[in-house]
Chains A and B, each alone.
Chain A
């Protein structure tokens, strides 16, 4: 009979939602009643919309509670732990109650996240951890590379390059030493898949790296991790130490000839450092600027040595493939691409969080099936995939399966996994401007097309949002975009125009409304909207108090007015008005 235990979601999302208050309440209530059930802190279970989350496991099964406050924690202890009956109010999943958020997913990469204690290697080993490494050492490096090829695993960092082939190149390179790099820079500003994997299951990534190093013949590895992920870094450090103690890392791993060490390097806040050649310059201590390829890292990479670089999620798939076999892995996925993809589903969707689905799953199944549709049942407008390198797809594309080729054909990309849902209240010109502003600022400045081109495009978009654009501007935008795509040095520039091009392609009417009519249909662009107070106003004065520029005047209990010359269209008045008397035109 399994012992009763309590798991509490303790990834960044859980902590932000108040996991520590809940944990404190659990512990103090248990103390009061003299119970000493084990409480374990685990990674992200993926249902971020329900954080803080607690899972209680006893002989009857698993019970997941969500949206908890301290007072609910008390009830979980008194009613469920002590009383033996689940606390129904906040119960989401139980043996009798399925949650379709999960039943529609397929977990390979996230199988351990939120389940095991990421700071305890024994937990990982008990769930089959490091079996893949043992198998790899047994069958030899040739077979490992073959198995990865057979799995049809493709790079999850964005470009989708076949991983087995990449390993083959690095393996074939002749050199006295080689490197393996794990790219944990996760730069897409709306994505956190890699962070969750690192926080929830760090050993899977480490094991993937060790297997990779064995396959390509590398003796040293680096993990280049965003500095904004302190918890991930801490868990990796703990993981490395534990793996060394167990002999999975270090000299003569598990008695073999293979020796391998891993060093963690913290990024320093530059998006372009996610690009592989820039990343290597950064590890070497320089400005993180990309260089032309070839030579590819497999020939001449870090410190001039052959280097294999893979993304976090790519590596986290490796132990599973080795342990279970490529055949099992390709049970899901498409003809050209095996396995699953993790997405960070967010934006105007009811149930956001981390979702893992077989490659080839239609967008609709993710957004409506797993995400349960749009917040407030408003109208779906677009889904943004791939962040600053990706694109926005409209409703007609909801049946599109998520795989590398189909998404690229539609103008978006699979990307690293950011999936932001937008509704009728989002302005597509504003969104295009947002992404271009990001890439323009992050351009390293080395090549002219990216440095100057993105700036010029941004200026045009700015004119649109101010209502000063012309039709010629659209042509100029398209010309600039095609040149930047064609002539930029690295992927940053080559993909920077994508958010603009896809919005132009699918939402041209919205651009035209900004240009021809000086109107922002979504009522987002501030220069194109005006706020007025209607006769519904009861003269309560709340808006006057809230207005940061003192643009509102009026006597108590009589209708207030907004001085249009002063108003900055921030919308604060509308948010506080108790009778919805503020109208946006």
Chain B
């Protein structure tokens, strides 16, 4: 598992875009996650070496921020908005419906690797609450029925 998707050369190429100083750490982690979908351990080790900082620092920083993941993600990332407007308009129900439809809880990925379910705070479409975002596309004015259809459409897109 450790070395899956991980190719030292391609990572070095990415690293070369950043000056080897501490303030590059977060941008590097972001670029690495964009590339691998998550942060594999060997990647973090290589980053530490490149920046001449302890691996524990890389780990400490990456675990501080909600954006970083340490497990591979599914093909479609479903983000359910739990911002205030969505909360008062039933985000919990939407979340619940998705959970029962795809069979995993927030923060998890389905066994077939098709969906990862996440929670986010306000994606800025409050007037269309409740809202979810799938792979960067927002879907608004949802209810249980509509959200099932949205999820189904991604399933059928396979």
Contacts and interface: CB of A to CB of B under 8 A. Distances in A.
Interface of A: 11-13, 15-17, 48-49, 51, 187-192, 195-196, 227-230, 265-271, 282-288, 344, 346-348, 352-353, 384, 387, 418, 420, 422, 426, 431, 434-435, 438, 444, 546, 548, 570-572, 575-576
Most chain A Cβ neighbours within 10 Å, of B122, B128, B129, B138:
B122
A266 B124 contact: no
B100 to A, nearest CB: 5
Contact of A190 (B22, B126, B137, B144): B126
Contacts, number: 141
B25 interface: yes
Given A268-B30, A346-B85, A420-B85, A353 B64 contact: no
Interface stretch (B6-14, B65-73, B104-112): B65-73
Contact of B140 (A16, A270, A571): A16
Contact of B84 (A266, A347, A571): A347
A196 B123 CA distance: 11
Contacts of A230: 136
A12 B65 CA distance: 24
Contacts of B61: 285-287
A284 B22 contact: yes
B127 A269 contact: no
Contacts of A422: 88
Closest 6 CB pairs of A and B: A190-B84, A16-B138, A189-B121, A48-B127, A192-B124, A346-B126
Nearest to A12: B124
B152 interface: no
Interface in B14-33: 21-27, 29-30
15 contacts: A12-B123, A13-B127, A48-B127, A188-B122, A189-B83, A192-B126, A268-B26, A268-B68, A286-B61, A346-B84, A346-B85, A346-B126, A347-B89, A548-B100, A572-B93
Given A268-B30, A286-B61, A434 B124 contact: no
B157 interface: no
B127 A346 contact: yes
B84 A189 contact: yes
Contacts of A267: 67
Most chain A Cβ neighbours within 10 Å, of B25, B65, B138, B139:
B65
Given A285-B26, A572-B93, 13 more contacts: A16-B131, A192-B125, A195-B124, A269-B66, A269-B67, A282-B26, A287-B60, A287-B64, A346-B84, A346-B127, A352-B85, A353-B127, A444-B64
Contacts of B144: 546, 572, 575-576
Nearest to B96: A570
Nearest to A352: B127
Contacts of A16: 125, 128, 131, 137-140
A266 B26 CA distance: 9
Nearest to A44: B124
Contact of B138 (A12, A346, A418): A12
A287 B68 CA distance: 13
Given A268-B66, A284-B23, A189 B30 contact: no
Contact of B23 (A228, A268, A283): A283
Contacts of B96: 548, 570
B104 to A, nearest CB: 14
Contacts of A11: 124
Interface residues of B, number: 46
A401 to B, nearest CB: 23
B52 to A, nearest CB: 12
B87 interface: yes
A270 B100 contact: no
A283 B123 CA distance: 23
A418 B84 contact: yes
A344 B140 contact: no
Contact of A344 (B27, B123, B126, B145): B126
A265 B27 contact: yes
Contacts of B128: 13, 16-17, 48, 51
A576 B93 CA distance: 13
Contact of B67 (A268, A418, A548): A268
A196 B93 CA distance: 28
B153 to A, nearest CB: 14
A228 B120 CA distance: 9
Nearest to B63: A287
Contacts of A228: 120, 123
A525 to B, nearest CB: 12
Contact of A12 (B23, B84, B87, B125): B125
Contacts of B83: 189-190
A420 B61 CA distance: 33
Nearest to B23: A285
Interface in B29-49: 29-30
B30 A286 contact: no
Contacts of B66: 268-270
A522 B140 CA distance: 25
B61 to A, nearest CB: 6
Contacts of A576: 144-145
Interface in B114-152: 120-129, 131, 136-140, 143-145
A190 B85 contact: yes
B149 to A, nearest CB: 14
A104 B139 CA distance: 30
B147 to A, nearest CB: 12
Contacts of A548: 96, 100
